[in-house]
Amino acid sequence: MKKILIALETGEQEQAAFRRAVGGEAELIFTTTGAATQEQVREASFILGNVPPRFIAGSEKLEVLQLFSAGADAYLPKGILGEKTQLCNATGAYSRAVGEHAFAMTMMLIKKLHLYRSAQMRNSWVDYGTIRSLGESTVLVVGLGDIGLGYARLVKAMGARVIGVKRRPGPCPEGVDELVPTEDLDRVLEEADVIMSVLPSTEETRYMYTAERFHRMKNSAVFINVGRGDAVSEEVLLSALQHGEIAAAALDVFETEPLPADSPLWQEERLVITPHVAGSFHHPSIYDGIMEIGLENLRRYLRGEPLRNVVDPKTGYCR
């Protein structure tokens, strides 16, 4: 009998839903990501949860690894997943939470609220001058997947002109004024007042935001990253801020996490830092979305049907 490992915090209601989905076709094992053992992982044919990659080590029994994250980069190196293992992510579960977080960062930066908060901590009554409205801004969304599109529609509702950048652009979706391929990034960077990045970590996206690309940005632009930290070198970003190449930035993701206490990023007044909390399980919609995706893919797996959110191991993107 196949073994189904649910390596995610679940209550009685969620466990009952999984039991109904499985019926008597497989053995269900409930644990948490931190408590899952290597033996449990190696014996499972379907796993829901981000178990340690080293526990998988090319398991011949594992047919489906359903992650609770949108990012799948930790499982892409050779030797982790076997040839017959399908890797699925949780695209669709994070759009509201991460999109709203990035939207809040956007409003904070263009209204200079980060500067006023810092002034408050110094008991300083200071006027930081003119601000920008989204209604007169061009917003560039780099990585127009589920999260990026959710964010795009929020800023579009405020009157922004929205340009989306996508690896394989198709028809321009509602909420986006122009959709361009990655090859056009340099051109549209020069037009943007807000650059919001929500890229995964792949060979093509690592350190995509080079010093040259920051030179191309308006010195009044703001840069936001809620995708993966290695899309930009922290040294390059800090230099761009200190030399006035951009006006401000906000990061929820970093090259090294947790961000070291001695990092100079902490002291940069024009930078807003949140500790990778845009997603995770901070909003109930994320957990609900993961449960819905996990249950649906488990049912599809048991029926031998095509799975949802299958990740291409060569690109790190959903197929």
- Residues with active-site annotation: 228, 257, 276
Phi, psi for 27 (deg, rounded to 5): -95, 130
Alpha carbon distances (Å) from 317 to 89, 144, 216: 9, 12, 27
Q: Which of 100, 32, 17, 28 is nearest to 291 (CA)?
A: 17
The tokens describing 176, both together, are 């986006």
The tokens describing 29, both together, are 């094992």
Helix axis angle, 95-110 to 284-303, nearest 10°: 150
Q: Which of 51, 34, 53, 12 is nearest to 313 (CA)?
A: 53
Find out whether 150 and 174 touch, Cβ atoms under 8 Å.
Answer: no
Sequence-distant (≥ 6) Cβ neighbours of residue 113 within 8 angstroms: 107
Bridge partner residues of 28 (DSSP): 4
Phi and psi based region of residue 256 (left: phi greater than 0; alpha: psi -120 to 50; beta: remaining): beta
